[in-house]
Amino acid sequence: MNCFDCSITGTTTPAVAVCHDCGAAVCLEHSFVRQHHLTRTATINRIIVVEPAARFVRCATCTAADDAVHRDSAPSRRHAERHTALRV
């Protein structure tokens, strides 16, 4: 399998991963590795972060989109949404 982004520019580069979000094959140059902290619920609904963090790979397009979402969201709103989701 070859990198999707490289094929757009007319080059052929072997892919090393698949984008977590869109499923496009990506090479080392076009891949972004991020950490994802998994959680588990303990007694009395305590949320515990599991170590070590899991990893996932995104392509440049999905990384830019995710960064834009987090940049545009107000921190106080994200905090409120997180606590609302935990109570449900």
- How confident is the prediction along the chain (88 residues), in pLDDT tens digits per residue? 999 999 999 999 999 999 999 999 999 999 999 888 888 888 888 888 888 888 889 999 999 998 888 776 655 544 444 444 443 3
Q: Which of 11, 35, 36, 13 is nearest to 26 (CA)?
A: 13
Q: What is the pTM of this model?
A: 0.65
Is residue 1 within 8 Å of residue 15, measured between CB atoms? yes
Structural domain of 63: 4-87
Say how far residue 59 (Cα) sits from the centre of its chain: 10
- Exposure pattern of 23-55 as b/e (b: 16+ CB <10 Å)? ebbbbeebbbeeeeeeeeeeeeeeeeeeeeeee
Could you give the dihedral angle defined by the CA atoms of residues 22, 2, 6 and 71, in that order, rounded to the nearest 10 degrees? 20
Is residue 26 within 8 Å of residue 13, measured between CB atoms? no
Q: What's the pLDDT at 88?
A: 36
